[in-house]
Each structure stands twice: as C-alpha cells, then as structure tokens.
Amino acid sequence: MPSVDIYDSWELVTRHMPVEQPPATASYIIFKKGSKVYAKNGETGHIEYEDIDAATVIQDAVNGGNKWVHIKAGVYDITQAITLPDEGNLKLTGDGANLTVLRVPTGYDNNIFEFTGTKSDDAYFNVFADMQLRGNPTGTNNTGFKLDSTGGGIVDSLFINLFLWDFAADCVYINQYNTWANVFFRCTFEHGHRSLLFIAGNGSDLRVLCNKFLYSHGVYAIVAYVRYSSFIGNWLYKNDKRAIQIGGGAKNNTFGNNIFFNNSYSSAGTYDDIYVEDGDESVYIGNVFCGNTNSAINILTDSTGNLVQGNIFIGSYGTAPVINNGTNNTIRYNKGYTTENEGIATFSGDGTTTTFNIPHGLVGTPSKYGVSPLTPDADAARTITVDATNITITFDTAPPSGTDNIKFGWWARV
C-alpha cells in the first residue's frame, strides 16, 4: 500500500487534527540593530516597521491593541510618549527588568507610556511585564505610566516584574474614574522625584502586591485615593517623606503584611509612615514598622471605623507609634503599642499597707477596666483608680499579713 502524506487527507485534516494552538511567538518582536529599531511580524517574519526613533516603532506595533508585542533586550531611548491603545488586550513584554530598558534620555522630558481614554469604554486586560522604565531626573514632568483619562480607563490589567525609577515626576500616575482590578505585582519603584505610585480619581479594586517602594523624593511613596483596594506584602524603605497617604473619600481598603523601614528619612520626626486623612472602615493588619527612628508616627488616623490589629511597632521618633484622632476605631493586639492587657496581680499583705499598684502596660490611661478579687483577703472594701501607668487599689482597711494572700484578676483597655 503506497504511503500517504496525512496533510493530503481531507478526512485527517478536518476531523482528526488538533484545534489551532495559541501563537508560539509575539504578534510583533521589536529589536535593535545598529542605529535602527525594527518591528518584525511574529507570524510572517517580515520587518514591517523600522525607524531610528524607538518610540515610533513601538507605537506602530502597539496601535490597535488586541496583540502581543515583545521588546528584546537592549536600551531604547524614548523621546516621545507612546500612547496605549483604547482597544485594550495589549500584552507588552520585555526580556527582563534589567535587560529590556526603555529610558527618557538626557535633554528630554516626556512620559514613556500615556493613556488618555478617548473612548467611553474601558481598555481591558492589558499586561505590562519584564522591562525597565527609566526616567530623566533632570527634567520636570516625565513619568513611566501616565494614565490620565476622563472617559474610559486602563482596567483589569497586570503590571508585573517592572523596574520603574528615576522619574522627575511620578513613576506611575493614575487619574481615572476606574482602577478596576489593576494589579501591580513584584515591581520595584525607586527614586520617584514626586511620588512612586500616585492613584487619584476615587477608583476601586486596585491591588498593590509584593512590590518595593524605595527612596521617593518630593511627595510620598504611595498616594492613594481609592476604595475597596488592597496593599499587601510591600516593602517601603527610606522614603524621604511619608510612605503612604490615604485620603479623598478612600475607604474599605486593606493594608496587610507590609514592612515599613526608616521612612521620613531626610526629615526625622516630620512625616508618618501611614497617614489616614480620609480612609474610613479600612483594615491595617500584620504590618511591621521596624527601625523607624525617623518616622514621626507610624500610623496617624483621622478617620472612622478602622481596624488596626496584629501589627508590630519597633521604635518610633514620636511619643506613640499610633495616634487615633478618629472615632470608632479598633486598635488592639499590636506589639509595641499595647491598647489592651490583662493578668493576675499577687501581693503579700503586711497589716499596714492599704494601697497596691498594678502596672497595666498600656499606651495611655484605660477608658475601660475591671478588677476582681481572687482571694478572701482581697475581697474587702476598696476603691479603684487608674492613670497612664497603674491600676491603683486602695483598701478602706489594710489587709492582714500573709504570703501571696492578696490576689486580683484584672483587665484594661484604652
């Protein structure tokens, strides 16, 4: 029986071949050669765009969205902003955060990526990954991502493994009505000369996860005017001023498992790690404030209904690591800032002493407390007072002499 090429068989091709697989290569592959930048069509292998100006080639490649554009290793000078397409569904990747470098060169002051949202619809499901965006610190306004729209916004998008640094303005600036499900994951923000991450527009559902925020200058590391958002597992280190500023109607946010180290670096005792100007009903849990001898206060809240629990405070410049100027806030079970305590206090009577002090160890005078006698000699007429240091028990008549014969159970809460 003669051999048959299976691709000559209509039966095999139409009924038995697997479904078409996802593309194995990007829609466009951008690379440098000599003085020019090229964009090769990943399917046909043809060079479709070329120019001395890298921004022009990248712009040609990303136009229209709905594609994957991969930028090979190299340093690309970006001398004009690249406009992100309204269509969304753009996957823009590099070879690595220290391999693919897009930079604003000396003498230029443009942003690297911009989105203005000319349509009313949002631009969904973008991915920006594995590249470095480097600013020009001698300029005044250059930014890595400037997403500034009054219509649709960049939403449901992922920013992963990016290195953003040395911008004269913000490393990332977002001012759009929605931030729906935008995720910043495992990025490094460094040396922003205004803020490292600025989120305005009262958006929702932003996720800032496992990033590093280092050495911000001018404003703060993170400025957030968002709701229903999460800031988890980040490292905030040696920012000149405040690490995080929350305000503008922000509420229902979660700040968990972040590490704050030596912020307010250039102005000891001036700025706080977290200032909650307007951030009602948010959660601050499991954060570590360590080595913060420069920060004025670790958490300062003027808002309502927050939970501050399970945090660790190791050193602060001010008199207290937490200042609660709001109302209905629950601050409890923190190490280094004790707002609740309890125990058993045992004394030995000598027949003449009428006053016994129980150090409560709280950060201030208790607003609520309780004392219960646990031995017969402790169960006598007495008065109880509290101050910033002690619960004081004063008996009408001195208890009798004895060894450990006066015992109380007690609890106290600021």
CB 81 within 8 Å of CB 55: yes
Nearest to 212 by CA among 230, 248, 239, 194: 239
Give the C-alpha distances (Å, rounded to integers) separating 321 from 262, 274, 336.
Answer: 13, 10, 8
CB 62 within 8 Å of CB 39: no
Can you tell me the mean pLDDT for 51-67?
97
Can you tell me the mean pLDDT for 362-385?
95
The values of phi and psi at residue 371, to 5°, are -135, 130
Q: Return the C-alpha torsion angle 325, 327, 330, 331, nearest 10.
A: 10
Q: Among 8-22, 131-145, 287-301, which is the least confidently predicted range?
A: 8-22
pLDDT at 174 over 70: yes
- What is the CATH number that goes with domain 23-286? 2.160.20.10
Q: Among 47-51, 319-323, 372-376, 390-394, which is the least confidently predicted range?
A: 319-323
Can you tell me the mean pLDDT for 290-311?
76
Question: What is the pLDDT, as a whole number, of residue 316?
Answer: 58
Question: What is the pLDDT, as a whole number, of residue 76?
Answer: 98
pLDDT at 223 over 50: yes
Question: What is the pLDDT, as a whole number, of residue 292?
Answer: 56
Find residue 32's DSSP bridge partners: 37
Can you tell me the mean pLDDT for 187-193?
96
Distance (Å, whole) CA 102 – CA 79: 10
Distance (Å, whole) CA 244 – CA 302: 14
Rounded percentage of the chain residues whose pLDDT exceeds 90: 64
Q: Could you tell me the residue ranges of all domains in the chain?
A: 23-286, 340-413
For residue 78, what pLDDT band results from cuts at 50, 70 and 90?
Answer: very high
Can you tell me the mean pLDDT for 404-412?
97
Question: What is the pLDDT, as a whole number, of residue 4?
Answer: 45
Question: Which string of DSSP letters, residue by residue, matches 170-235?
Answer: -SEEEESS--TT-EEES-EEE--SS-SEEEEEEEE--EEES-EEE---SS-SEEEEEES-EEES-E
Q: Where do runs of H (alpha helix) occur along 224-278?
A: none
Number of helices (H) and strands (E), helices first, in the chain?
A: 2, 42
Find residue 275's DSSP bridge partners: 245, 300
pLDDT of 340-355, one tens digit each? Answer: 999 999 999 999 999 9
Predicted TM-score (pTM) of the model is: 0.87
